[in-house]
Amino acid sequence: MIDTKKENKDFSFSEQNLSLAEYELSKYPKGREGSAIISILWIAQKQNKGWLSPEIIDYVANFLDLSQIRVMEIATFYTMFNLSPVGAYHFQMCGTTPCMLSGSDELKNVLYKEIGEQNSVSKDNLSWVEVECLGACCNAPIIQINDDYYEDLNAVDLKNIIDELRKGKEIKSGSYKDRLTSAPLNKNVKFFTQDEIERISKNRKKPGLEA
C-alpha cells in the first residue's frame, strides 16, 4: 500500500502550476476565489500523476481558504478526480445506457481480465474505473484513456489498444469504425460540399425579414 503521508507531505505547486493556479483565481471576483476549485484540483491532480491524496486536498483547501470538507465535496462528486493512485494509463469506461447497449459490458470484461479490479494499479502501471456518461454517446461505446476519447470500440479493439500501450506504442484516438467525427456511419447519408452549403444558405428564406 502506498504511504500517502510520505508521498505528498511536502506537496506544493510547481512554479509553472502556481502561475497557472493564480491565473485561474484571477478569473473570479475578490472573496469568490473558491469558485476556482475545480480548476485548482485539476492542476494539483495533473502535477501528482493523476490523483489527489488527503494531503493535497488539505493543500488545496489552504490555497483557496476553504474547509477540507468543501474540497472533498467536489473531489468526491466528480469522477474526473481520483482519490487513490492511478496508472500511467488510466481507463475511464462509460457504463451508462447508450454505451451499455452498444457493448460496454464486453469492454468491462476485457478491462477486468487485462488490468484487474477497478481502482487498483496493475504491475505494468495501468488502471481503470467505470464512469457515468462521458458525453459522447453518439459514438458509443466510449473509453477515455488519460485525456483522449476512444470510440466505437469492441473487445478486440480494446485488447489491441492495451497490447499497443504495453509495447510503448502510440495509439489512435477517436472512432474505431472510421467514423468522421460523430457523423452517421450509414454510407447513404449525403454530405454537402462547401459550395452546396453556401448555395443552400444563400437561397434560404430568413424568417421575419420579409416585407
State in angstroms the smallest separation of the CB of 146 from ligand FES: 17
Select from 25, 74, 83, 137 the one that contacts ligand FES (CB under 6 A): 137
CA distance 174 to 151: 5
* 50 lines the binding site for ligand FES (CB under 6 A): no
User: Which of the stretches 92-100, 107-115, 156-164, 190-198 binds ligand FES when contact is defined by CB under 6 A?
Assistant: 92-100
DSSP 158-198: HHHHHHHHHTT-----EESS---TT--S-TTSPPPPHHHHH
**CB burial of residue 55 (10 Å; 0-12, 13-18, 19+):** middle
* 34 lines the binding site for ligand FES (CB under 6 A): no
The total of other beta-carbon atoms located within 10 Å of residue 98's CB is: 16
Q: Could you check whether the bond before residue 29 is cis, i.e. omega within 30 degrees of 0?
A: no
DSSP designation for 199: H
Q: Nearer to ligand FES by C-beta: 2 or 185?
A: 185
Q: Nearer to ligand FES by C-beta: 60 or 107?
A: 107
State in angstroms the smallest separation of the CB of 104 from ligand FES: 7
Select from 96, 127, 144, 175 the one that contacts ligand FES (CB under 6 A): 96
* 36 lines the binding site for ligand FES (CB under 6 A): no
Max CA distance (Å), the chain: 76
Question: Residue 7, by phi and psi: left (phi above 0), alpha (psi -120 to 50) or beta?
Answer: alpha
Site for ligand FES in 52-71 (CB under 6 A): none
Find the helix or strand (DSSP H, E) in which 130 lies.
Answer: strand 126-131
Fill in the per-residue mask, 106 to 135: x = in contact with ligand FES (CB under 6 A), - = not in contact.
---------------------------xxx
Give me 132's grid cell: 457515468
User: Which of the stretches 24-32, 93-101, 174-182, 194-202 binds ligand FES when contact is defined by CB under 6 A?
Assistant: 93-101
| Sites of contact with ligand FES (CB under 6 A) | 94, 96, 98-99, 133-137, 140, 142
